[in-house]
Structure 1
Amino acid sequence: MSSRMAGATLLRHLGPRLFTAADPASGLAASARGIMPAAARIFPARMASTEAAAPHAKQEEATEKPQGATTPEHNKKAVVSYWGIEPRKLVKDDGTEWTWFSFRPWDTYRPDTSIDMAKHHEPRAVADKVAYLIVRTLRAGSDLFFQRRHASHALLLEMVAAVPPMVGGVLLHLRSLRRFEHSSGWIRALMEEAENERMHLMTFMEVTQPLWWERALVLATQGVFFNAYFVGYLVSPKFAHRFVGYLEEEAVHSYTKYLKDLEAGLIENTPAPAIAIDYWRLPADARLKDVVTAVRADEAHHRDANHYASDIHYQGMTLNQTPAPLGYH
């Protein structure tokens, strides 16, 4: 049988289902209406979403609903996730509803504030000295610019600090795919660090609202820093992690100055934002000082993790050493 004859036979069988008009007198318009039910039988998943958006479908659905479906419970629309699964309702320890979608109760933790805040990695190699000099230069400029506006300084600092672990995690992820190798836990560790730094930023967004020029500064800094660090990590992961280690040392120093001004009364010790209370499992009456203390502890753990990554001559995922404990999650 030729392809033309086969096509004619298939059209003869499927034609009445696809193109039969509901009203012969309506011509083409009726044929178009006949396509929708037939196509819905052939492509049920795609047509279901299309019909849900059509106004006339809502009217037909209302006429087909049983009489008991008009109660508020049935009229309430369920919120579904990206995967089409209805999320379960989460509650806090006190029984109240969990309101955060950016993190879940199992992502929260109590910060380890017992870590040594004064720890410093003495630069020995030339690359270490270069990384330390760059970070010290950046710190001098930021301190001069922000002065005692610690909350605004924290916004810029956290935006910058959240870039390196994400860049490193993405590059290691791609390396793992290319080489068919496991990451020994480093990809997950870097992603957790990036998420933690982002939560710092979200917290300080509740403490202070940046002005338009501060937002512009953040955007410009991120655009330059992301590309520079991306190239630097490709050239030498060892140098990149050492740089971040020193960057976190300066973050600890900045938050220590923040705490001193809070204790001296130079900055109002306002109530802690709700997002910080839930994320770090702080007391309900926690203050801004408790938040800064928790953030400083996180930065100290990031400092140690990145110096450790550089100390073992971490070159992607060729070594079997697992990441050092980060002190959270």
Structure 2
Amino acid sequence: MIKLLVGILVFVINTVYRDRPYPRFYVLETVARVPYFSYLSVLHLYETLGFWRKADWLKVHFAESWNELHHLLIMESLGGSAFWGDRILAKTTALIYYWIIVTLYIISPKSAYHFMELVEGHAYSSYQKFLTEQAAELKLQPAPAIAISYYRDGDLYMFDEFQTAPSSEKRRPQVDNLYDVFVAIRDDEMEHVKTMVACQETNAQISFKSPHTLANSEITDSFANIPSD
């Protein structure tokens, strides 16, 4: 069922938008935000009902949705949402997938995360192909202001927060031109894949923490290990 859901989405996007990259990415990013909204809705429901509280999961999934929002804003700034038909298709598909993933997340969280792992994997491949084919042209175009604000000049707390894969240093994308922007978006998608994989680990219910929570824990542990006089 997961492969079918992803397959339908990929087929529609690749068929309808074969020669229209920016509208295709606009639709893709509109739909790609939705599963994170679904996860957040169910997690908030569980917390409201008193089942359990997972603040770190809420932080990471919100940071993921925030990242996807800026991908979407970049595509809108490039004219991807100019045609009303594209907006209707994107929003209708997003609404349908929202309720599908809400239901799936309640029944099987691992399956819901696997769905998003496949979607983000497809997004990574799509951006990689686009970069390979349009590299020369993209390098001649300036980076959109929204991309510069998000990746370089803005508050990077939530940009760091969705990247849960172990790393020796924080990622800071270069945004000198449009090619750099698409490289950053492509790399974001792989970070989402890694995060979705981490959410499917057997002990994820206990071990999964946001990057800043882990960093603060390490600082606390380091102070705890300092001998007292």
Once the two structures are TM-superposed, the CA of residue 234 in structure 1 deviates from its matched residue by 1.6
What secondary structure, in the 3-state scheme, does the structure 2 residue paired with 1:296 have? helix
Identity percentage of aligned residues: 29
> Residues 249 and 154 of structure 1: is their aligned pair in 2 closer, same or farther, counting only changes over 3 Å?
same
Structure 1 residue corresponding to 2:206, chosen from 313, 320, 329: 320
Q: Which has the higher helix share?
A: 2
Q: TM (normalized to structure 2)? A: 0.75
Once the two structures are TM-superposed, the CA of residue 135 in structure 1 deviates from its matched residue by 1.8
Q: Establish whether residue 183 from structure 1 lines up as the match of residue 54 from structure 2.
A: yes
What secondary structure, in the 3-state scheme, does the structure 2 residue paired with 1:185 have? helix
Question: 2:44 corresponds to which letter in structure 1?
Answer: H
CA distance in 2, matches of 1:170, 1:186: 12
What secondary structure, in the 3-state scheme, does the structure 1 residue paired with 2:206 have? coil
Question: 1:292 corresponds to which letter in structure 2?
Answer: F
Structure 1 residue corresponding to 2:87, chosen from 211, 215, 222: 215
For structure 1, which runs of at least 5 residues remain unmatched after alignment?
1-129
8 A Cα contact 1:184 1:322, kept in partner: no
For structure 2, which runs of at least 5 residues remain unmatched after alignment?
154-172, 213-229
CA distance in 2, matches of 1:159, 1:299: 14
Once the two structures are TM-superposed, the CA of residue 152 in structure 1 deviates from its matched residue by 0.8
Q: Which has the higher contact order (CA 8 A, sep 6+)?
A: 2
8 A Cα contact 1:164 1:244, kept in partner: yes
Q: CA RMSD in A?
A: 2.5
1:69-111 per-residue CA deviation (whole Å, 9 max, x = no partner) reads xxxxxxxxxxxxxxxxxxxxxxxxxxxxxxxxxxxxxxxxxxx
Once the two structures are TM-superposed, the CA of residue 155 in structure 1 deviates from its matched residue by 0.6
Once superposed, which parts of structure 1, at least 4 consecutive aligned residues long, lie more than 6 Å away?
282-285
Question: 2:66 corresponds to which letter in structure 1?
Answer: E
Q: TM (normalized to structure 1)? A: 0.54
Structure 2 residue corresponding to 1:305, chosen from 160, 170, 195: 195
Question: 1:320 corresponds to which letter in structure 2?
Answer: I
Q: Establish whether residue 246 from structure 1 lines up as the match of residue 130 from structure 2.
A: no
1:203 is matched with which residue?
Answer: 74
Once the two structures are TM-superposed, the CA of residue 146 in structure 1 deviates from its matched residue by 0.8
8 A Cα contact 2:57 2:209, kept in partner: yes
Q: Establish whether residue 261 from structure 1 lines up as the match of residue 151 from structure 2.
A: no
CA distance in 2, matches of 1:151, 1:259: 13
8 A Cα contact 2:57 2:210, kept in partner: no
> Residues 221 and 285 of structure 1: is their aligned pair in 2 closer, same or farther, counting only changes over 3 Å?
closer
Provide the aligned length of Structure 1 versus Structure 2. Answer: 192
